[in-house]
Amino acid sequence: MSFFLDLLIESSVLLLVVLGLGIILGLMDVINLAQSGFMAVGVYAALTAAHRGVNFWLAVLVGAAATGVLGLLAEWAIIRRLYARPLETLLATWGISLVLVQLISIYFGHGPQSFDEPFVTAVPVLGVQYPAYRLVIFVAAFAVVAVLYLVVRFTRWGLIARMVMANQALAAGLGINTVRVRQVTFLIGSLLAGFAGALLGPIQGVSPYYATALIAPAFLAVLLAGRTLLGLVLASAVLAVTATVFSRYFNPVYATAVTVAVAVVLLRLFPEGLTRWRRS
Amino acid sequence: MIPKRVASGRLRAVVALSVALVATACGGGNSPSSTNSGPAQVYKVGLVVPVTGGGSANADPVIQGANLALDEINSKHLAGTNVKLQFVQVDDATDPKTAQQVCTQLVTQDQVVAIVGSENTPSRAACESAIQSQNLPYFAGNGTGGNVCYSNMFFFGIAPNQQVSPLVDYLTQKQNLKKFYILASDYAPPKGSVAVAAKQVPADGGTIVATTYEPLNTSQFSSDVAKIAAAQPDLVLSGLVGNDQIPFHKQLGDDPRTKSIKVASFQMNEAIAAAVGSESVGVFVASDYISGDSSAANNAWLAAFNKKYGSSAKPSFFAAETYDATLMMAAAIKKAGGTDAGKVISAVTQVSVDTERGHIVIKDGSHGYATLAAHIGRVNSNFGIDQIDVTPPVDPVVACPSS
């Protein structure tokens, strides 16, 4: 049963990282290489607040907010001017990530930082004792997915976002401010990146090169997802389960290679994404 | 082929430094004919540090240790002469290609007389390829897996046998821990340490229930925690490196199945312990330096370190190794009577320094590795490391590819 919980948590960790990336790619066609930089900003803002006595959960929200503000700034100053040029967008977001990492290094130093969990306890789940904070990560991932689904499915903004995603030119022709939609989308993606960074900080090593180990599988998951929320959930689960099972029962050194191989095979079988076969 | 301007520059350096050092050796610190007259002659030494990239977490203590030593060299050992040593610090970005570029720059543009470095294995090899033509001496402020050997390179970090064997001896004999689970990074130095442990543990009457490697930059250890929980060893022997240690110790310590299992680490230092937090308390450490060493030499060194760097001081083993490497460089140059690379390299095995780590010497036949004592420690509740045992100096056992 612990193993099943491990699979659930590993999938949740990857899903939290993937959500911000997936939102931005799905709506804006922007591959945000600044994701790891945004996550680093989130965790450093959160731990700064926590070290100043702010409650842990508030500190996580501070991290998300700080990253959201940064995302707004980056979108206004740089990304907005490059929407029609996807390769330049890649370069620009990569450059943003480099700058963020170096700024963090200059201000906080290169060494690791401490960011303690709000509680170190285990709770009984399905007959086993399991670390409580790791369960919080699962709950958070589930909650974020639920909120995003409800917003996209049942709100006016969600309808607008789906219209822009389906046909941006037509949406603009109907009077929708597509610039504002993109701005809000990038804000939400940045908020999610900062939230993920801050929430995962207590179980990761916090340094300027934070979360780099999670970014590569996150991009694979986004490619597999097919630009749907369900796709993001499925892709995260498939890749996390593959890596965890292979690490557990075979050789961890090759788990990454096997995960990539599985992703390549699935992309070959489902080129439009894991959920697109239903439409075709 | 040495460029003419490099060769002529070096010749001037050799002559001037030789005059200054001879004057000093003759007690001529105050000799009016050759010292203290005119501006100081500055000789450049390359300092290669991973300021950026994955190895950057160790950059600060390395830079601090090297510069503390340089201050001491210039203010004490070269006092009374008009010679100064100056670092030219470069960043290898924890990347071999960058390392080769910056080391080439040190040789051709900065015309350094020696290099002090604290690089990872691939970057150091790349730097060596850049300096090999000049046969520049390279004083490495870190260790290896015990299988890296260059005729112009000297290592002041620990070789696996100097760390692992004493640690395993202590754990089996003084802590009565017999059942070991080994988890290490898939990287040369930890693998060398694991190879030594694989022999030492059974030799000390213990058993190894499993050995697992994880790639570098791993942050999710649920599989390893599950395997450790299933094996229920007396101790986990961790060879994880860098920041990978942080999530591992946190995840191991948070899991109720494994939180009471003892842990020993080849790589834990004060900064990592503080970043891990409460889960690091009680972890056994074996190192060539522990800041909790209560010897007079270490206390004096710590006082000087803290005085220079104040609240940003990071006197870890990275700092100590680079400090000693820099002092040995200066001692070798002094013994050689100049900066001629061949003479300096030959002089290294003829000198020694007494530092915070004790008497540091590189013996003939050691392939450039220092003889070092092993310090056994344990992380305390303030995330410092208390020293609980120390061995006599241990000669390195090195398996050079050509030996």
Q: Which 3 state secondary structure label does DSSP give A112?
A: coil
Strand blocks (E) in B68-143: 83-91, 114-117, 138-140
Query: Do residue A212 and residue B217 have CB atoms under 8 angstroms apart?
Result: yes
Of B224, B244, B256, the CB nearest to A205: B244
Which of B191, B222, B255 is most worth mutating to test chain A (most A CB atoms within 10 A of its CB)?
A: B222
**Residue of B254, B255, B279 to mutate, testing the A interface (most A Cβ within 10 Å of its Cβ):** B254
Task: With cut-offs at 50, 70 and 90, classify the pLDDT of residue A166.
Answer: confident
CB B180 within 8 A of CB B196: no
CB contact under 8 A, A3 and B274: no
| Distant-in-sequence, close-in-space partners of A103: CB < 8 Å, separation ≥ 6 | none
What is the structure's pLDDT at B24?
Answer: 38
Beta-strand runs (E) in B226-384:
235-239, 262-265, 284-287, 352-355, 358-362, 370-371, 375-379
CATH fold match for the domains B4-158+295-372 and B160-287+378-390: yes
List of residues 6+ apart from B137 with CB closer than 8 A:
B114, B115, B152, B153, B154, B329, B332, B341, B344, B345, B348
Helix axes A2-28, A35-51, angle to 10 degrees: 120
Architecture label for domain B160-287+378-390:
3-Layer(aba) Sandwich (3.40)
User: Would an 8 Å CB–CB cutoff place A13 in contact with chain B?
Assistant: yes
* Domain definitions of chain A by residue range: 2-210
Interface of A with B in 86-145 (CB under 8 A): 102, 105, 109-114, 116-117, 120, 122, 129-131, 133-134
Give the pLDDT confidence of B282-341 residue by residue, as tens digits.
Answer: 999 999 999 889 999 999 999 999 999 998 898 989 999 999 999 999 999 999 988 999
Is residue A112 within 8 Å of B275, Cβ to Cβ?
yes
Residues of B in contact with A36 (CB under 8 A): none
Nearest by CB to A205, from B51, B60, B247: name it: B247
In DSSP terms, which residues pair with B285 in a beta bridge?
Answer: B265, B377
B179 bridge partner residues:
B207
Its sign, for the CA torsion B64, B160, B188, B217, is negative
Report pLDDT for B325: 97
Identify the burial level of A186 via C-beta atoms within 10 angstroms of its C-beta, where 0-12 means exposed, 13-18 middle and 19 or more buried.
buried
Query: For B191-210, what is each residue's pLDDT tens digit?
Result: 989 999 999 999 999 999 99
Nearest by CB to residue A3, choosing from B218, B226, B277, is: B226
What are the Cα distances from residue A216, in Å, to A20, A130, A210, B186, B402? 14, 28, 13, 19, 39
Taking the whole predicted model, whether its pTM rises above 0.90 is answered as no
Instruction: Tell me which architecture the domain covering B4-158+295-372 has in CATH.
Output: 3-Layer(aba) Sandwich (3.40)
Under DSSP, the state recorded for A113 is: B
Angle between helices A229-249 and A132-154 (to 10 degrees): 160
Express as a percent the part of chain B with pLDDT over 90.
71
* Chain A interface, best mutation among B183, B219, B309, by max A CB count within 10 A: B219
Residue B97 scores a pLDDT above 60 = yes
pLDDT at B38 exceeding the cut of 80: no
Identify the burial level of B214 via C-beta atoms within 10 angstroms of its C-beta, where 0-12 means exposed, 13-18 middle and 19 or more buried.
buried
Question: pLDDT value at position B28?
Answer: 34
- Nearest Cβ partner for B223 among A211, A214, A248: A248
- The answer to whether the CB atoms of A248 and B254 lie below 8 A apart is no
B277 closest CB neighbour out of A114, A213, A248:
A114
In whole numbers, what is the pLDDT of chain B averaged over residues? Answer: 88
* Residue A153 sits at the chain B interface (C-beta within 8 Å): no
In this complex, do B223 and A120 lie within 8 Å of one another by their Cβ atoms? no
**Residue whose token pair is 């001491």:** B72
Listed in sequence order, the residues at least 6 apart from B295 whose beta carbon sits closer than 8 Å to its beta carbon are B356, B358
Domain ranges of chain B: 4-158+295-372, 160-287+378-390
Region B100-124 average pLDDT = 95
